[in-house]
Each structure stands twice: as C-alpha cells, then as structure tokens.
Amino acid sequence: MAQYGKFIVLVGLVIVGVGVVMMFFDKIPFIGKLPGDINIKKENFQLYVPITTSILLSIVISLIVWLVSYLTRK
C-alpha cells in the first residue's frame, strides 16, 4: 500500500511541475522558434507545426524518465 502512496505523490509532483512550466511557457525564449519549426501565416490562415521543438521535448522527457528509472532501480 505504501508503494501506491509514493506513486500518487510522484504523479502529483509531475502535475505541479507541468503546471509551473505551462505558466512560464511563453517566457521560455527558444520554445517554438527553433529552426525546423514550420510557421505559415496567410491572410486568413495560420499553420504552426513544431517539429524540432517536439523532437527536443521528446528527448528531454525521455532522458528524465530514464534518469528516474535508473535512480529507482538501485
């Protein structure tokens, strides 16, 4: 039962972390403006495809998950 409690606390911390990042997302200078992000603006149309940003965030999240997994294995 204690494992479930630890898991719920961890999920709560992750949710708080995501919330803090979302609050300051506009102030992060390089997110969404990397080379490789497609941004097409027309008169009545705007298309934004964050390819490079998605790849970068995927790598960072994968490294964080790997690190947590590595540290909890011991």
In the chain, count H helices and then E strands.
2, 2
Instruction: Tell me the three state secondary structure of residue 44.
Output: coil
- Please compute Rg for the chain using Cα positions: 17
The pLDDT of residue 9 is 87
pTM for this model (two decimals): 0.58
Top-confidence residue, 28 or 17: 17
Lowest mean pLDDT among 3-12, 14-23, 27-36: 27-36
31, pLDDT greater than 80: no
56, pLDDT greater than 80: yes
Match 């690190």 to its residue by tokens. Answer: 67
The pLDDT of residue 72 is 83
